[in-house]
Every structure is written in C-alpha cells, then in structure tokens.
A and B are shown apart, each in its own frame.
Chain A
Amino acid sequence: MKPEDRINRRDRIRNFSIIAHIDHGKSTLADRILEKTSALTSREMQDQMLDAMDLERERGITIKLNAVQLLYKAEDGEEYIFHLIDTPGHVDFAYEVSRSLAACEGALLIVDAAQGIEAQTLANVYLALDNDLEILPVINKIDLPSAEPDRVRKEVEDVIGLPGEDCIPASAKAGIGIDEILEAVVKKVPAPSGDPEAPLKAMIFDSLYDPYRGVIVYIRIMEGTVKPGEKVKMMANGKQFEVQEIGVFTPKPVPKEELTVGDVGYMIASIKNVGDSQVGDTVTHAAKPTAEPMPGYRKLNPMVFCGLYPVDTNNYTDLREALEKLELNDSSLQFEAETSQALGFGFRCGFLGLLHMEIIQERIEREFGIDLITTAPSVIYEVTKTDGEVIEIDNPSEMPDAQQVDHVREPYVKAEVMVPNEYVGPVMELCQRKRGDYLDMKYLDENRVNIVYEIPLSEIVYDFFDALKSNTKGYASFDYELIGYKESNLVKMDILLNGEKVDALSIIVHRDSAYDRGKIIAEKLKNLIPRQQFEVPVQASIGQKIIARSTIKAMRKNVLAKCYGGDISRKRKLLEKQKEGKKRMKSVGNVEVPQEAFMSVLSMDENK
C-alpha cells in the first residue's frame, strides 16, 4: 500500500466497543450491527454471534474478547471500516476491559430505557473516559411499555455528564435506531491518528491458543505497519518472533497483506506460549523498534487461590491435562500440584478473582467432564516465624503452629465503591464489618458517592460482592486494587469431622471473628453433610481449643415402603440415584462429604 493510501484508509476507520449492563441488550445490538454492515449473510448469522462460548451465553457475560471488522456504507457515500471490539463485563477482568478500550477511539454506552444506568456500567464508563474515548449514549429498548427515555436521558446527563440530547433512542430487538447509531459512529468517533510510516507499535488486547497454529494474538496497530515475514519483538520480555500471518476477523479470520494504523486484527507468529503475548504488551519491529511501549501495561498476578481436586481420584491426570489446556488460553491461570490428607492429589490454582475461579471450575466440569471439589479460596499470607524466617503461604494448611508464628501480614486492597447516596450507610457498615479502614468519601454529583476503604483482600474474597449487591440492591459498582501487606491478628481455624482434622476445610481468619465463623461453619456443615450410619461430631478449633461444635445425627431410617402398583423401575431409579449421589461425595476419614461442603466455609450467609 502506498503511504497516502494508508492515511486515506486510516481516516475511514472507526474503532469502538459496546459498554452495557448485563441484559441491557449488548449482544442483540451487536447482532443488528453485524447484519446492517453485511459482515455475515443471514445464514451465517447465529443469534448473539459475539458470545461464542456456552458458558458466556448462560451467564450472559463475555469472557473472551472478540474483534470484528465490518464495512459500512455511510450516508455521505463513503465506505467506512468499523472494528467492533467486545469487552468482558466483570471486575475480575477490569484490566482486560481497560486494554480493549485502549484499542478503541469510541464506545457505545447502552442504557436500558426502563432500568436506567446500572452500577456495573458506570465503572466501565469511567474506564472509557480514562482512555479518552468518545462515548455515544444509546437508550435501548424504547419499545418496551415501561420505557422512560426522558428520565434515562436526564440520568445520562446527571450521572455521566454527557449531553442528554446526544442520546440515541433505539431498540436493538425491533431494529429501531440502528442506522442512527451507525451514522453517529462515523461522525462522532474520531479516526485513529498514528503515523503509518513510524516504527511499528501494536497493542495486544487478547490472545488465544490454537492447537494447529499456536498463539493467535489480537492486536490493534497504533503506529506503523506490519507484514508477514517480518521479525517482531514483544516489548515486555524482549522475545522475538517471525510473523507468519496477519489478518482481520469478519468474524471469520481473513488473512491480509499488511495491517496498518487503526487496524484491529490478529497476528500468528509461531508463538507457543500465551505467556509470551501478555495483554497490554506492545509488539514492535525487532530491527527498528518504537521508542516507547504503549502505557498501561502490567503483568497480571493471581490474587485468589484455591485447591482443585477430582472427586474421583482416578481423574487426577485428566484434571492436569484440563488445566494445561486451559492455561494455553489463559496466562493468568496458575497451578501447581498439591496433596491434601483429606482429598488426595490435586492442584493449588491461582486466579484473578472469584469469578475467574468459578469460570475455570465450571469449564473443567463441563468441557472436560471432571467432577471437582473446590476448597475455600485463600489469598497469599506472609508469615514471619519466631526464628525470623518469612514464608508466604497460599494454603491455610501450610500455616505453621501458633507457637512458631511471630506475626502474620495479609494483602490489603484499596476498594472504591460507587453508590447512590441513599446506600452510603449500608456500604460503610459493610466495609467496617469487613475490617476496612476508611480512607475517603466524595460526592461525584448530587446523587453519586464514591467511598474509598482499605480492606483485607481475604474479606473481599469471602462474600463481599454478594453482601455489597444485597446491601445496595445491586446499585453499587466496585473496583479494587492491591496496595500491599499489613499486619493482622490472624489465626488458623481447623474443622474436625468425627474427631479428624480435615485439612481442606481449614481457613485463616481474624481472631475476633473466629468464634462466629466457627459457629456458622459447624452449623452449615451439619446441614450440608447427609446423615451417616453413625453420629458425626463437627468441630471448629484453633490449635487444640474447640471453639464451636455441632452434631450430624445418625441415619435412622431410609427405606421406601410403597410398591407403586408394580412400578419396579421407579424403585430402581431411586436406588440408582442414591448410589450415584454417593459417588459424587468424597469419603473423608469414614464420613461421606458432598462437594458443596468444601465451599461452605466460603459463604458466611447463615441462610444458605
């Protein structure tokens, strides 16, 4: 391509993403845009094209990012190149969101005409503003009887500070307002601005592993041009690769001769390890590198750890293979082998957050068919022993005996909660209860308050999300970042079943809340573990001291009387179900424990 063609092309590119609350119609709008821009024939059109994984569809969230190139013939007669970049929608993936937003110049903000702006949307709006994105507000679902576009328009003005008259009324479902949205993208989203002739500067915003082609890197070209055959360098670790293929997604991958400024596409370069294509990293030419990498890159470290064990010990190797396969696509997943006295062989795994953990767990169960036992999540504690040695533990069972512990430090986060002012009280009370230290509170406008606390990460990992949601009717948005370690009065609490310590149930708790937590856990286990053939005491202890106790009564009666008019197969089914249920339990000592029990120490809600 000639230099002036590149400039000309660049000026017709519009890169944008869609920010929306779950259920506010992001996927449907994406589908409508794909239809209108003839990215797909209607036969190829599968509903909600962008959310490919089953899990994503079920949970209504996007886990893996996607980027599609679309051609749009605008009213001015010009043909424009759109890149629609999808973003994940959860705080665990806030970093990925910020990187994919950094690959755009604009964002469509979808607001439900009946429900208005929801808390989770706001965090992403602020991320978009941080990245200097042009925000185009769209009021969706205006065809609903309960729609209140005027109220929502005012809300957009008050809460986000965007002019209300800029809001585009639409209904993705009914196909209303789609043309207006596309025209607004052309007119309001700025074209990319980099120099196509400068040294290559491309930002990685995602990558995935393909068993045949190696790592497929999703990139946005900020400056310069890249072609197959060129040698490129990852600026974070300096590793060099030869580009084999570049291209764009339409959404099928289509190879191209070059990618230049503004292009959003993929690169294949014999990269074997996703760890070599870190999200946020900058790709440049090996021979003529750019001076500065893109700002904002950081290496993601797992913050939450838990043990994953196969229910059936024979599945240990399968579990290893499953984790290895998932790791290929997910550089933030970490794991190493560990052994539990109660659960046998398994893995200690590290995750970005709780949702990340749940997703991995579900994918293993679903895609690999392995029944799992998950232990309660833990963070990394820093233990200084009386002999001066400092050790890091991510598993409560590694905690040294109390006599050997001089002091324990735990990770703290700076937690920012954005909430309508009527919920300030409940939020502060919650943060206080979670051992938080108050830092700051700011009114963003007459309605919105930003509350800042320092809270131990372990409290966030427990039930902070759920508690926050229920205390604010879902109106709070929440973000946190790690700020370092602080000393805390922490102790290890063990759980004993039938007098035997179950290492997989041990947790580290603050001494002040140990009694309460012990009581709740003992009570929960009593309800979760079915009656056995003998009475089973459940105890919580700190060191040798029992601090709580409950009893699972012995099974007294389990026999079905009725003969159901000769319906023998019904009897058979019942017995088979009973037998199957037991197979899914883990025998600890001689007590049959269901999977849920191991997670029960997680949730502190007494009603669950």
Chain B
Amino acid sequence: MRKSIYIHVPFCEQICHYCDFNKFFLENQPVDEYIDLTIEEMKHTVKKYPQTNTVETIYVGGGTPTSLTTEQLQRLLEAVPKHFHLAEDTEWTVEVNPGSAGADKFAMMRRTGVNRLSIGAQTFDPVLLKAINRDHQPDQVEETVRLALEAGIENLSIDLMFGLPGQTMEHWKDTLQKAVSLPITHISAYSLKIEPKTVFYQMMNKGKLKLPEQELEADMYAFMLEFLKGNEFDAYEISNFARRGAVSRHNLAYWNNDEYYGIGAGAHSYVEGQRIRNHGPLPKYMKAVREKKLPYLEMHEVTFSEKMEEEMFMGLRKRLGVSKERFENRYGRTVQEAFPGVTEDLKKAGWLYETPERFMLTDEGLLLGNEVFEKFLFAAD
C-alpha cells in the first residue's frame, strides 16, 4: 500500500543551529527551476512506480516551504493533483515558519487543497529562540495560527523542542502552557539532538554548548506527558499528541511501515520494497532530473528480516504499538516466533506490555525507546 507523498523544499532564509536537514540559503538559488524539476520528478516517478492507491496524505516539508513566494509555492502545490490521484479526504500538510506566510499565502494554500499546517514554534521563550537561531518572535506563532484559521485551515500542529541549551523546567512549562492555550489540534515535541554538520555540533566539540542533564530532559518529557493529557492531547506516538483524534495520518504511515513517495532534493521514498534516497546537493539533483533520470543517490531493497525489524521499531513508537494480527498477516509468523525471547525479556525489564491484540511500550519503555528498539534488530553478524 502506497498512499503518501513527501515533498522537500530545501530553502531557508535562516539556518537554525540544530538543523542537519538538507537545506540551503534561499538567496541566489535557482528556486524556479527547482520547482520545475520537482514537478518533472513527480511525472517520472509515477511512470516508474504507478500508484497502487489514491494518495491519502501529502506532506510538504523542508527547509522552509513558506520561504517560497506565493506564486512559486502555488505552482508546486498545484502540480501534485495533476500527477497523482488524490482521495476525497486527503490530509495535506505544509510546514510553516511563524511569520513567513501571510493571509495571501494561506488563502492560496487553502484553495489548492492544503488542510493542515505544521508550525515551527519550537519554544515561546525569545531568548531560547535566538539561541537556536530561529528568525521569528514568540507572538508570531499566535499570529500565524490566527491567519491560518481565517484562511480556513483548521487542522493546525505546532512543533516544540525541549532539552535546549539553557532551557529550564520553567521555560518548558511556560511553552507548553502557551501551546495548549492556542486553538490548535496537534503538538509534535522533539528533544534536541546534536547532529554533525550543525552549528551546535561545532559548539559542543569546542565545549561551548551547555545542554541540560539527562535527568532534566527526562523530567521535561514526563511533565509534558502529564500536562498534555490534562489538556486533552492524546499521546498517540512517542513525540506526537493530538486533540480530538486529529492525529497526523502522514506520520502514522511511516510508523505503520507503509510505503510512500518522496519528491525533491534529499527526499526519501519507500516504493515497491525499495528504500530510496535522492541526491541532496541541488546541482546533482537538478542535473539528474534535467537529464530525465531519477535522481537517486542510493536504493536499498528491504529484506524480509529488515521489514520485520522495522515493523517493530517503528510500530512500537505508537501508543497502540504493534498489532499481533497485522504482524502475522504481513509476515506469516508471530512476533514471538520472529524474535524469540525478546518480548519476554522486555516484559521482564518492565519496558513492554502485551495485551491479547498488541505489544506496546510501557511509560518507562517510552523514555528508553531506543534500548527497546535495538532488541528487535537481528544480530548484525
């Protein structure tokens, strides 16, 4: 089943200190040609990998999609239904930086079919925002939410970050409080991870980055679970919370180990059993598409064992965990047969629990997810 598309817009007007995604300074980039070429890629892609289903989720991420002009973004968005068959109720998300889209842009999005926004709020503390090099002010989040609602886009998510350098529990409580007071339906909350090739990574290596202790980070996470529950946000995944059932169907496609198309420089796709990574650098990506080639940097045929591993380490991220029936239907064996002893050990450790239908992480297992997931990798040798 393949009913999702990810589209990557790799341009930003400012680079955040933690970001290691494929992105470039907007200035002087061949943005218009890039849009033409992503549209080309859509065309080639459906030819090579025809649709199996109508598309039910679209996610336009970045970079900063809203760094495009209204005309540019419109051209990109309008191309999608020209090349793919969409379902009636397709969930269509665009990532938005607070302050980078006005009423016009939102109205255009709404007209094209966009019905969900993911707003990069990160924190409501102005000092922390500056420390991570975001270019917006806290009150611009509220402004963005208001404009979106006025344009008729009502399914709104905001991204938050914790474990930031200098962030205290008070900061975090304040940010969460401000978040839930907004008329939004969804929160994604990620802890900061320092990745190579970022400003933070360099600062860390020079000993200039003071990160909160693991204890504080864990406390922040625990507080968030409690707090969001009390505010009617349901923790349906490790770092995703939804009000009134407004889960991100696009993200769930990843966690459910379903296939998806990926369009754009550095985008990833999972089609016909292959995990594919597109060229990241613009010249490489653009050259390939210009020459009517698919811009693939690497392709990997996912083996049967890997599929089972991924089913587990992705599926357990969800609050509902992994369905035993679905696993058996997909792989012709039970989870216990596929991973002898593993579930028992994890249950003993208090990280996993089992119902007649599913395997799920316990609250403690949630915080130590990677320790659990690791156990579902078959030995490398």
Contact partners of B189 in chain A: CB under 8 A = 561
Contact partners of A569 in chain B: CB under 8 A = 268, 275, 277, 300
Query: Which stretch of B34-42, B108-116, B366-374 is in the interface?
Result: B366-374
> Is residue B218 contacting chain A, with contact meaning CB distance below 8 A?
yes
> Is residue B190 contacting chain A, with contact meaning CB distance below 8 A?
yes
Tell me, rounded to whole Å, the shortest Cβ–Cβ distance linking B20 to chain A: 9
Tell me, rounded to whole Å, the shortest Cβ–Cβ distance linking B8 to chain A: 7
Contact partner, A575, options B193, B262, B268, B374, Cβ 8 Å: B374
Contact partners of B172 in chain A: CB under 8 A = none
Contact partner, A574, options B254, B260, B277, B370, Cβ 8 Å: B370
CB-CB contacts below 8 Å: A508-550 with B: 531, 533
Query: B221, B270, B374 — which one has the most chain A CB atoms within 10 A of its CB?
Result: B374
CB-CB contacts below 8 Å: A561-598 with B: 561-569, 571-572, 574-576, 578-580, 582
Q: Are B373 and A575 in contact (CB under 8 A)?
A: yes
Contact partners of B306 in chain A: CB under 8 A = 572
Q: Are B377 and A562 in contact (CB under 8 A)?
A: no
Contact partners of A576 in chain B: CB under 8 A = 377, 380
Query: A562, A563, A582 — which one has the most chain B CB atoms within 10 A of its CB?
Result: A563
Contact partners of A572 in chain B: CB under 8 A = 306, 309-310, 313, 377
> Is residue A1 contacting chain B, with contact meaning CB distance below 8 A?
no
Contact partners of B191 in chain A: CB under 8 A = 557, 561
> Is residue A553 contacting chain B, with contact meaning CB distance below 8 A?
yes
Query: A557, A572, A574, A576 — which one has the most chain B CB atoms within 10 A of its CB?
Result: A557
Closest to B20 in A: A564
Contact partners of B6 in chain A: CB under 8 A = 565-566
A556-B370 in contact given A562-B193, A565-B8, A568-B314 (Cβ < 8 Å): no
Q: Are B370 and A565 in contact (CB under 8 A)?
A: no
> Is residue B133 contacting chain A, with contact meaning CB distance below 8 A?
no
Q: Are B254 and A555 in contact (CB under 8 A)?
A: no
> Is residue B27 contacting chain A, with contact meaning CB distance below 8 A?
no
Tell me, rounded to whole Å, the shortest Cβ–Cβ distance linking A328 to chain B: 29
> Is residue B349 contacting chain A, with contact meaning CB distance below 8 A?
yes
Q: Are A558 and B377 in contact (CB under 8 A)?
A: no
A561-B314 in contact given A533-B349, A566-B6, A576-B380 (Cβ < 8 Å): no
Q: Are B371 and A558 in contact (CB under 8 A)?
A: yes
Q: Are B251 and A579 in contact (CB under 8 A)?
A: no
Contact partners of A557 in chain B: CB under 8 A = 191, 214, 217-218, 221, 367-368
Contact partner, A568, options B8, B59, B190, B310, Cβ 8 Å: B310
> Is residue B61 contacting chain A, with contact meaning CB distance below 8 A?
yes
Q: Are B239 and A561 in contact (CB under 8 A)?
A: yes
Q: Are A565 and B21 in contact (CB under 8 A)?
A: yes
> Is residue A291 contacting chain B, with contact meaning CB distance below 8 A?
no
Q: Are B380 and A580 in contact (CB under 8 A)?
A: yes
Tell me, rounded to whole Å, the shortest Cβ–Cβ distance linking B63 to chain A: 10
Contact partner, A565, options B214, B239, B267, B371, Cβ 8 Å: B267
CB-CB contacts below 8 Å: B276-324 with A: 277, 300, 306, 309-310, 313-314
Closest to B61 in A: A565
CB-CB contacts below 8 Å: A3-47 with B: none
Complex CA gap A564/B280 in Å reads 14
Contact partners of A580 in chain B: CB under 8 A = 380
Contact partners of A287 in chain B: CB under 8 A = none
Interface size class of B (residues with CB under 8 A): 35 or more
Complex CA gap A579/B309 in Å reads 14
Contact partners of B262 in chain A: CB under 8 A = 565-566
Q: Are B377 and A567 in contact (CB under 8 A)?
A: no
Complex CA gap A428/B155 in Å reads 74
Contact partner, B238, options A531, A555, A559, A579, Cβ 8 Å: A559
Complex CA gap A558/B370 in Å reads 6
> Is residue B269 contacting chain A, with contact meaning CB distance below 8 A?
yes
Complex CA gap A572/B380 in Å reads 12
> Is residue B337 contacting chain A, with contact meaning CB distance below 8 A?
no
Q: Are A556 and B238 in contact (CB under 8 A)?
A: no
Closest to A562 in B: B190
Tell me, rounded to whole Å, the shortest Cβ–Cβ distance linking A571 to chain B: 7
Contact partner, B369, options A560, A565, A567, Cβ 8 Å: A560
Q: Are B218 and A556 in contact (CB under 8 A)?
A: yes
Complex CA gap A572/B254 in Å reads 13
Q: Are A558 and B254 in contact (CB under 8 A)?
A: no
Contact partners of A556 in chain B: CB under 8 A = 214-215, 217-218, 367
Q: Are B380 and A579 in contact (CB under 8 A)?
A: yes
Contact partners of A568 in chain B: CB under 8 A = 254, 268, 270, 275, 310, 314
Contact partners of A533 in chain B: CB under 8 A = 349, 368, 371
Tell me, rounded to whole Å, the shortest Cβ–Cβ distance linking B150 to chain A: 29
Complex CA gap A562/B61 in Å reads 13
What per-residue 1/0 map shows which CB atoms of A61-84 lie under 8 Å from chain B?
Answer: 000000000000000000000000
Complex CA gap A559/B162 in Å reads 13
Q: Are A559 and B275 in contact (CB under 8 A)?
A: no
Tell me, rounded to whole Å, the shortest Cβ–Cβ distance linking B362 to chain A: 13
Complex CA gap A579/B313 in Å reads 13
Complex CA gap A574/B374 in Å reads 9
What per-residue 1/0 map shows which CB atoms of B178-197 lie under 8 Å from chain A?
Answer: 00000000000111010000
Q: Are B377 and A575 in contact (CB under 8 A)?
A: yes
Q: Are A559 and B369 in contact (CB under 8 A)?
A: yes
What per-residue 1/0 map shows which CB atoms of B111-132 lie under 8 Å from chain A?
Answer: 0000000000000000000000
Q: Are B8 and A559 in contact (CB under 8 A)?
A: no
Contact partners of A564 in chain B: CB under 8 A = 21, 268
Q: Are B380 and A565 in contact (CB under 8 A)?
A: no
Contact partners of A558 in chain B: CB under 8 A = 367-371
Tell me, rounded to whole Å, the shortest Cβ–Cβ distance linking B318 to chain A: 12
What per-residue 1/0 map shows which CB atoms of A136-169 lie under 8 Å from chain B?
Answer: 0000000000000000000000000000000000
Contact partner, B251, options A531, A553, A563, Cβ 8 Å: A563
Q: Are A579 and B260 in contact (CB under 8 A)?
A: no
Tell me, rounded to whole Å, the shortest Cβ–Cβ distance linking B302 to chain A: 9
Complex CA gap A564/B251 in Å reads 10
Complex CA gap A501/B242 in Å reads 50
Contact partners of A578 in chain B: CB under 8 A = 370, 374
Complex CA gap A555/B349 in Å reads 14
Contact partners of B377 in chain A: CB under 8 A = 572, 575-576, 579
Q: Are A575 and B215 in contact (CB under 8 A)?
A: no
Contact partners of A579 in chain B: CB under 8 A = 374, 377, 380
Contact partners of A567 in chain B: CB under 8 A = 268, 277
Tell me, rounded to whole Å, the shortest Cβ–Cβ distance linking A592 to chain B: 11
What per-residue 1/0 map shows which CB atoms of B343-381 lie under 8 Å from chain A?
Answer: 000000100000000000000001111110110010010
Tell me, rounded to whole Å, the shortest Cβ–Cβ distance linking A60 to chain B: 26
Q: Are B214 and A575 in contact (CB under 8 A)?
A: no
What per-residue 1/0 map shows which CB atoms of B80-102 lie under 8 Å from chain A?
Answer: 00000000000000000000000
Q: Are B366 and A559 in contact (CB under 8 A)?
A: yes
Q: Are A560 and B370 in contact (CB under 8 A)?
A: yes
Tell me, rounded to whole Å, the shortest Cβ–Cβ distance linking B371 to chain A: 6
Tell me, rounded to whole Å, the shortest Cβ–Cβ distance linking B80 to chain A: 16
Tell me, rounded to whole Å, the shortest Cβ–Cβ distance linking A524 to chain B: 18
- List, sorted by A's number, 18 A–B pairs whose CB atoms are closer than 8 Å: A531-B214, A533-B368, A558-B369, A558-B370, A558-B371, A559-B367, A559-B369, A559-B370, A561-B193, A561-B238, A563-B254, A564-B268, A565-B8, A565-B59, A572-B313, A574-B370, A575-B373, A579-B377
16 further interface pairs, Cβ-Cβ under 8 Å (given A563-B254, A565-B262): A533-B368, A556-B217, A559-B238, A560-B193, A560-B370, A561-B238, A564-B21, A565-B59, A565-B61, A566-B270, A569-B300, A572-B313, A574-B370, A575-B370, A575-B373, A576-B377
What is B's interface to A at a CB cutoff of 8 Å?
Answer: 6, 8, 21, 59, 61, 189-191, 193, 214-215, 217-218, 221, 238-239, 251, 254, 260, 262, 267-270, 275, 277, 300, 306, 309-310, 313-314, 349, 366-371, 373-374, 377, 380
Closest 7 CB pairs of A and B: A559-B369, A556-B218, A561-B239, A561-B190, A557-B218, A566-B268, A558-B370
What is A's interface to B at a CB cutoff of 8 Å?
Answer: 531, 533, 553, 555-569, 571-572, 574-576, 578-580, 582
